[in-house]
Homo-oligomer: A and B are copies of this chain.
Amino acid sequence: MLLDFDRLGWWKWMLVSITALVTLFLLLPIIFIAALSFGSSQWLIFPPPGWTLRWYEDLFADPRWLQSAWVSAKVAGAVTILSVVLGLLASLSLTRGRFRGREALRALFITPMILPVVVLAVALYAFFLRIGLSGTFVGFVLAHLVLALPFSIISISNALEGFDKSIEDAAILCGASPWEARLRVTLPAISHGLFAAAVFSFLVSWDEVVVAIFMASPTLQTLPVKIWTTLRQDLTPVIAAASTLLVLLTVGLMLLSLLVRKALKR
């Protein structure tokens, strides 16, 4: 090893700086918010004069917060299912099909990842107003689905590309019909890709706020939207509590997915 970490002081110093930077501007604010959510001051004084669970009680007592969490879960659940199913079919065609325009199609499916979200939100808003999907659950799911599909297609395509087609051929020669081979051999073999697709799709919808703000109606609000609109009125510790819960849920889901992935790969 030419680069021996302990020998090159300069490197170490740089790495320490970057770590400090990221910790400072990423972890510290999050910890700060988490601390405030347990702080007894209503005015977000730091360090808090005392500790309390009051804001969490307020949060769970307010049906509007629970309702928005429920909307978030429903939308994200529907998006996840659709995204994995459609992502699988699209990936199979994109990976295995030989047809003209394949690359263009792949680019089209990936586009939502790179388009400015604010433009997409504005455009979807204007478009949905016109075709009457504005403020509906279906519109919400479809808008998030378009955002989630790229993640799903990338995860599943990668898994399919890492899967040797000969294994499917072997299953067919073993006597399985082509569809049986796909179901009993290919799908289990790419299950880590399907799982990643599901986790990413869920998180994309669950955490998304810009498009959601435009899609939301007073009766149809996701959790991030609720945090946003509440914040517009008042920076209360309840928001800190909701934010903390959202982070815990997200990080928990990612950790769980890592564990499941390891188990799937054995």
Measuring CB to CB, which residues of chain A are less than 8 angstroms from any residue of chain B? 1-6, 11-12, 14-15, 18-19, 21-23, 25-30, 32-33, 36, 44, 46, 86, 89-90, 92-93, 96-99, 105, 108-109, 111-112, 114-120, 122-124, 126-128, 130, 142-143, 145-146, 149, 165, 168-169, 172, 178, 203, 206-207, 209-210, 224, 227-228, 231, 235, 239-240, 243, 246-247, 250-251, 254
Q: List 9 A-B contacts (CB under 8 A).
A: A2-B165, A12-B93, A14-B93, A18-B89, A25-B145, A32-B123, A33-B119, A33-B123, A118-B228
Question: Are A105 and B1 neighbours in the complex by a CB distance under 8 Å?
Answer: no
Asked if residues B108 and A19 are in contact (CB atoms below 8 Å), the reply is yes
In the assembly, what is the distance between CA of A250 and CA of B29, in Å?
A: 30
Copies of this chain per assembly? 2
Q: Is the CB of A149 within 8 A of B22?
A: yes
Q: Is the CB of B93 within 8 A of A26?
A: no
A14 smallest CB distance to B (angstroms): 5
* Closest B residue by C-beta to A128: B29
CA A74 – CA B223 in complex, angstroms? 33
A104 to chain B, nearest CB (A): 10
A28, B97: Cβ atoms closer than 8 Å: no
Contact between chains at B246 and A5 (CB < 8 Å): no
Cβ of A5: which chain B residues have Cβ within 8 Å of it? Answer: 93, 97-99
- B3–A46 contact, CB under 8 A? no
Choose from B22, B228, B231, B235 the contact partner of A108 (Cβ within 8 Å).
B22
B96 touches A1 (CB 8 A): yes
**Are B209 and A93 neighbours in the complex by a CB distance under 8 Å?**
no
Give the complex CA separation of A142 and B3 in angstroms.
29
Name the 5 nearest CB pairs between A and B, nearest first. Answer: A29-B123, A116-B207, A29-B127, A5-B97, A119-B243
Are A114 and B203 CB-contacts (below 8 A) given A22-B146, A146-B25, A246-B119? Answer: yes
Further pairs besides A25-B143, A122-B231: 10, Cβ < 8 Å: A1-B96, A2-B172, A22-B146, A30-B115, A46-B130, A114-B250, A115-B250, A118-B209, A122-B239, A126-B235
Please determine whether B122 and A92 come into contact, CB atoms closer than 8 angstroms: no
